[in-house]
Amino acid sequence: MAPPAIIAPSILSADFADLGAECSRTIKQGADWLHVDIMDGHFVPNLTFGPPVVVKIRSHVDRPTEAHGKGTFDCHMMIAEPKKWVKEFKAAGCDLYCFHYEAAINSSAAESPEATSEEKTSPRGADQPGTGVGVLYEILESEDEKERPDMVLVMTVEPGFGGQKFMASELPKVQELRKRYPDLNIEVDGGLGPGTIDQAADAGANVIVAGSAVFGAQDPAAVIALLREAVNKRSGKA
């Protein structure tokens, strides 16, 4: 049984010419978090948002009043040296930070993200296609509570671009994680929408990132509600 649903639309699919209003509107339409894809053109071949953009959109969305609360900015660090940037993105208004194992293991980002900020930041691990989730077990089961991620992100597309086709081949990773860690927040990102949510929910995912399925919908609120219902039905929270 998974934790309750958390719906985190990816602003990579929002209208960049009206980004602040889009973010505010999506939260009002029922989203819990906003997924902020940070790309540097090195770890992935695309460039997106820097801290100044986050500052601007944060002014349109109230910061959460509790951990994991409504209005959380879920910062997906698809960058080569994520540790170097945590403090700046925190100051800009991000709340959660997800490091890719593939970047962190080969850089100084493998050190604890807490070292980069005076305030505690909860570490999270991301796993892309081609990498088995077993690489995360050591840190997930670390004796040091501060080192243990409180969420794992499983990519169901290759990182770097929105609008890709959902890769159901990655769902066994979600099943494996859910079996081993029943209470862990497990996030899936890539190709999620009404046509694929049942597969992700059946596998045990509870944090759902959806970009074009939400921002491109005629009725985004209805899509958000559908995604939430699919997850909560399987978790017994409906």
Select which of 40, 150, 189, 219 is catalytic.
189
The DSSP bridge pattern shows strands 72-78 and 33-39 to be parallel
Q: What is the DSSP string of 73-128?
A: EEEEEESS-GGGGHHHHHHHT--EEEEEHHHHTTSGGGS-GGGG-SS---EEEEE-
Select which of 15, 18, 37, 198 is catalytic.
37
Question: Has 37 been annotated as catalytic?
Answer: yes
CB atoms within 10 A of CB 137: 14
Question: Has 40 been annotated as catalytic?
Answer: no
The two three-digit tokens of residue 235, written as one number: 């978790």
Angstrom CA distances, 16 to 12, 47, 217, stand at 8, 13, 16
Which residues are the active-site residues? 37, 189
